[in-house]
Amino acid sequence: MLSTLVLPLFALSVVSANPFAAHSNTAAHSIAARSIAARSTTPIAAAWYAGWHATEGFPLSSISWEKYNTLYYSFAETTQDVTNLSLVGSDGELLPQFVSEAHAHGVEAHVAVGGWTGSIWFSSNLATAKNRTAFVQTVAKFASQYNLDGIQFDWEYPNHQGIGCNTLSANDTANFLAFLQELRRNPVAAKLTLSAAVSLVPFNDATGNPSPDVSGFAKVLDYIAVMNYDVWGSWLQNVGPNSPLNDTCTTSAQQQGSGVSAVKAWTNAGMPVNKIVLGVPAYGHSFAVAPSDAFAPGKKELVAYPSFNASNQPLGDTWDNTGSVDACGVYEGPGGSFDFWGLIDGGFLTKEGKVAGGIYYRYDTCSQTPYVYNETSQIMVSFDNVESYAAKGKYIKNTGLRGFAMWEAGGDYNNMLLDSIINAAR
């Protein structure tokens, strides 16, 4: 049985791409059996499912379950109370149904804990031995209660401020490791697939710099998912790639990190390459760019890294936040993100995912990502398409990475991105 379970996912056809599917009606299809498979080198074909989009056009029935072997329900948020994980922002009533649907399709059902708005209390929840023990109990109980196959820790970020009001400590990374080691000793959690969603560089150590040694994490985590997105956005001075595959081929001023640099940073710190999953975005960032900045002088050719008007953030698609008070109580304007389907809705792309008539296009050869530009609305979007997903899939295969995880399942259109990365990584 094990030999079947460890068959490379990408060797199977796209329509029956699930290595667990054949076992879904057998007794062997238990949490334990699936976790053994996961703790081997089974390639990961995963996506995050944003619970709050269930009622905004992406119900559970829209998930292409057969193309994945793991889905992460997002998010269970940390709270001030170490005994409580909150599903308040994520349609918690849907979680049991998510888990049973996943299991019916032979897919591992995980919950992602934390996220951008849900990481506020990680540091305090893990700060002392007493709190870590309590949080181990909380996580194990939560996993049992919902019959989960895995937990992903999406702490943004240990000893590095994220949203702005996170509790924070110089000891965060050491405490995180101590917590994971204790969690692994818990009889429930020992059987779970444990992963972490991480930034492009290793967790900050007590000096505030990326840890030179994360080998301890490699022992307790099944894998990490590198969030290779939001690398460039409105917080920088120029339009740049949301999700650069590479940046070692560009000038140092344009090196904000990439898939290539992240894999180098994590492997140099002791994370095995086959424990690294590439996080890929099914969305892009928009910018207000004047035609005089967008085009090369005298030509209608898009230039690289143009400047943009930061006081005029365009609104993205219908899932974009139009502006609201965040979890820290601070007002945030529109995010400006366009899902892949949103670019089609917004007239940038055709229903085939090709560039629409009247839209300018540029494919950057170093980051291996595309840009579209509407001269009339003066909106430029840095995003990912079938071609950039194929480049990422090929990189996963050639480098021996563990697989991919897409933010978010509901961002794709007719599985165009998903099929592209699966085919290329196969």
Ligand X SMILES: *[C@@H]1O[C@H](CO)[C@@H](O)[C@H](O)[C@H]1NC(C)=O
Residues that bind ligand X (CB under 6 A): 79-82, 84, 86, 88, 124-125, 127-128, 131, 169-171, 245-246, 248-249, 260, 309, 311-312, 347, 356, 358-359, 374, 376-377, 395
Nearer to ligand X, 46 or 359 (CB): 359
Closest residue to ligand X using C-beta atoms = 347
Task: Name the minimum Å distance from CB 100 to ligand X.
Answer: 23
Residue pair 382/362 in contact by the 8 Å Cβ criterion: no
Task: Name the minimum Å distance from CB 53 to ligand X.
Answer: 20
Task: Name the minimum Å distance from CB 124 to ligand X.
Answer: 3
Nearer to ligand X, 28 or 92 (CB): 92
Task: Name the minimum Å distance from CB 190 to ligand X.
Answer: 24
Nearer to ligand X, 87 or 148 (CB): 87
Nearer to ligand X, 14 or 356 (CB): 356
Q: Which amino acid is it at 233?
A: G
Nearer to ligand X, 282 or 391 (CB): 391
Task: Name the minimum Å distance from CB 405 to ligand X.
Answer: 18
Total residue count of the chain as it appears in this document: 426
Nearer to ligand X, 100 or 312 (CB): 312
Nearer to ligand X, 171 or 321 (CB): 171
The set of residues, in sequence order, having a beta carbon less than 8 Å from that of 156 and lying 6+ positions away, is 114, 115, 116, 119, 162, 163, 166, 197, 199
Nearer to ligand X, 162 or 314 (CB): 314
Task: Name the minimum Å distance from CB 97 to ligand X.
Answer: 20
Task: Name the minimum Å distance from CB 123 to ligand X.
Answer: 7
Task: Name the minimum Å distance from CB 195 to ligand X.
Answer: 23
Smallest CA-to-CA distance from 264 within 112, 423, 395 is with 395
